[in-house]
Chains A and B, each alone.
Chain A
Amino acid sequence: MESQNIKKKSVRKAGLLSLIPGLGQMYNGQQLKGFAFLAVTIAFLIELVTIGIPAFQDFVTLGTVPIRDHSLFLLVKGTLQIIITFVFLMVLILNVSDARQVAKQYNTLGYVNRSARSMLKNIWENGFPYLLTIPAYFVMLFVIVFPVLVTLLMAFTNYDFYHIPPAKLIDWVGLQNFVNMFFLSAYRSTFVSVLGWTIIWTLLATTGQITLGILTAVITNQKFIIGKKFFRIIFLLPWAIPAFVTIMSFSNMFNDSIGAINQQVLGLLNYIPFVHVSDIPWKTDPFWTKTALIMIQTWLGFPYIFVMVTGVLQSIPDDLYEAANIDGANAIQKFTKITLPMILFATAPVFITQYTFNFNNFSIIYLFNSGGPGDVGGGAGSTDILISWIYKLTTGTSPQYALASAVTIVISIIVIGVSLLTFKKTHAFSNEEMM
């Protein structure tokens, strides 16, 4: 009855009017909010004309006069301007949808919030989730999104040790870096060789730590073991101690001539009858360095899997095993038909993050043997993975920033692509109520 007495607001009209931000809100009778939107818009327009448009122009040219124009800063300012413009476009969308929603609300309820007080209350009640996540997005915008954007853009420039601003200008070179990486013989062979080892490394090291983690968890979980707590503490030590400490210690232990592995451990093996082991060139032969790296990562990484899998094992109901016993299943059948599927089902997503972690596991590669021994061209050693190659490209005596950025892009595409595919395959998120 009552709603017929009020003049209906047109939702369409409110939406269309707010193409000039604020007008839609004023049409709805929310002057204050309207002015706020209008003020933001005017502020943005002023910013765009005074700073934004020159920034976009410089972004396209990346400067014309060396010394006066610092190409790198122009690139960054252009990127910032892109982000600002993007944020403003989001505000614009918010503004239109807000005008339409308030118009709808007016039509059904017959009133709108006019006072500042009721508006703030509304924000607190309905905007609470946004208020709580703003800090996360704010930090990520500056620390992740912005650097990733700059890197993405840098991959299309010629920023290297020949072109260090402000003395020299940087230019856009299109896909040149990617063409070099994939087709230019010198870089291509480095890239292929580093990528090949990165993949082998990721697969072997991660599978090693997952296998040892599961094995240890299953064995330690047996009921009869005395001193379970004691073994648990020992097995957690590699995780508890900062990784750089253990990696550097191992680096010393694996020294070819004086290291403890050659001097003491292998020496001990020689006491076993008919066994003779001579010193192994851990640090000077690529094959042995790689072997050592995989062993050390298995040592470092298994406790994490061990803890997770132990948790899963304790949650498997005993009835399952009792039923299997009645059916006459042996230990191996119980493991492959009950235990393993349960573990894999519950922890697959974490295993995937372990693979991506090792794909980018810089510390162990760099701190163990600085990516050496030897040289596979392009400044990379024979055990360098992509991420440590990037580090060398960026920090070396003749830095190749643009190429490093291009490699970063390739890494990101590989990692994101493979993880998304496997996440989808393992249905890791099918039980997550997304909506």
Chain B
Amino acid sequence: MRGILSSTKFNRFFSRFLTYLFLIVLSIIIIYPLLITVQSAFNASDLTAFTLDLHMHWTLANFQQLFTQTLYLTWFKNTMIIAVSTMIIQVIIVTLAGYTYSRYRFKGRKNGLIFFLVIQMVPTMAALTAYFVLGLIINGLDQYWFLTMVYVGGGIPMNTWLMKGYFDTIPRDLDESARIDGAGHLRILWQINLPLAMPMIAVQALWAFMGPFGDYLLSAFLLRSPENMTVAVGLQQFIADPTNQRVAMFAAGSFLISIPIVILFFLLQRNFQSGLTAGGTKG
């Protein structure tokens, strides 16, 4: 009897030990690369590669160089303009479409949903040549609005599905009683459903905002002149040339661009779970 008890005790200890070991090792694997990037941003010595340096001199010189000798601030501003406009336009369009497909039964609804599903699988960014020609014709090359519209269009199908899935989880009883009380379409949308969908709208806004920050392909292809570039394309130049690696400046630029996004991300991440599981699991 006693032997069994101590063996289960040992087992429990052992499984807890393994659990914490896993958590700690994974944490180190995640933090190490981030830590040495952040550290390099403040490192005074002339770096060619990121390393964990426990005896380094801390400095802000890299940031100063970044602001005075490169177009970093312009790139930052460009990225912000594109990201904010993508976010606003995409969230409005996706919210309206998702709401409609969740709440209304109308002719063509089923075909519309299937269309969204299929079109979401088409790798639109592979249609590079077509975007180039389209941009050439409507004078959209090297223009923010064109790139913004490409981002918005690419994000619509998938996110409409997620948005619809979220609206599906909001009970309809409220709509019904409001309708009986004489509320119109807009009132039901604006005063009842939108406030309830706020968590998902916040998530959608964050993702739409983060999209342009993460994209390299389209912005590198459609924005040609240096003063119109986004941060991703600009920073890549710092490390693209093997003979002239400006690693510390790259690290400094990366650090600055990540800070606002990481803060936003953690402010809104409470909403992720409800948004993801509601939208994602129901398709």
Contact = CB atoms under 8 A, between A and B. Distances in A.
B42 interface: no
B48 interface: yes
Contacts of B124: 143-144, 147-148
Given A151-B129, A154-B129, A366 B121 contact: no
A353 B27 CA distance: 27
Nearest to B24: A231
A260 B36 contact: yes
B49 A252 contact: yes
A235 B26 contact: yes
B265 A240 contact: yes
B238 to A, nearest CB: 9
Contacts of A416: 118, 121-122
Interface in A259-277: 259-260, 263-265
Contact of A144 (B32, B153, B272, B283): B153
Interface stretch (A32-40, A174-182, A342-350): A342-350
Contacts, number: 279
A124 interface: yes
A222 B19 contact: yes
B123 interface: yes
5 contacts: A139-B152, A144-B153, A148-B127, A248-B235, A253-B49
Given A142-B149, A244-B214, A408 B126 contact: yes
B213 to A, nearest CB: 5
Instruction: Classify the interface of chain B: helix, strand, loop or mixed.
Output: helix
Contacts of B112: 133
A92 B60 CA distance: 67
Interface residues of A, number: 102
A129 B100 contact: yes
Contacts of B156: 136, 139-140, 144
A366 B217 contact: yes
Interface of A: 72-73, 76, 124-125, 128-130, 132-133, 135-136, 139-140, 142-148, 150-151, 154, 159, 216, 219-220, 222, 224-225, 231, 233-246, 248-253, 255, 258-260, 263-265, 299, 307-308, 310-312, 314-315, 346-347, 349-350, 353, 356, 359-360, 362-363, 366-367, 387, 390-391, 394-395, 401, 404-405, 407-408, 411-412, 415-416, 419-420, 423, 428-429, 431-432, 434-435
Chain B: number of interface residues, binned into ranges: 35 or more
Q: Top 8 nearest A-B pairs by Cβ distance?
A: A143-B153, A147-B130, A311-B277, A240-B265, A129-B104, A150-B130, A147-B127, A136-B97
